[in-house]
Amino acid sequence: MLIQLGCDQVAMSTAVPKPPSGHFNLLYFASANTFTGKEFEALPAPLPVRKLFATLEERYAGIRTKVLESCLITINLTYVDVPEDSHEGGADEPVINEGDEVAIIPPVSSG
């Protein structure tokens, strides 16, 4: 399921450079930023969306249960559902491609 995000820009304290060839940018917000110690990083593309959480868990042990399970994910400002990694990919499976911008967006609290 894809849902278009209503915003045009996301504020970051550091400008995000274009990813290197064969990579995509992954942006970390709030608790994802705190957990990884990074605002962004480039990861190899293509990557099936269903493998994103497992890939991050390999890099940052514990991030799946402590951060990712409650997060939303966007690809190029469009929300996407992240299927279980055990799910068999099909022709309609979302894939993160070279040059894409992926964001990990933890729940927002108000107060």
34 vs 30: CA distance, rounded Å:
6
54-80 CB burial, b ≥16 within 10 A, e <16? ebbeeebeebeeebbeebbbbbeeeeb
pLDDT value at position 89?
67
Is 3.40.640.10 the CATH number for 35-111? no
Give the three-class secondary structure for 56: helix
Residue 57 tokens, joined? 């868990």
pLDDT value at position 35?
97
Q: Domain coordinates of the chain in residue numbers? A: 35-111
**Mean pLDDT, to the nearest integer, of 22-47?**
98
Nearest-CA neighbor of 16 among 99, 107, 106?
99
Relative to beta strand 47-48, strand 95-96 is antiparallel
Residue 13 has pLDDT above 80, yes or no: no
Question: 83: how many CB neighbours lie within 10 A of its CB?
Answer: 17
Residue 72 has pLDDT above 90, yes or no: yes
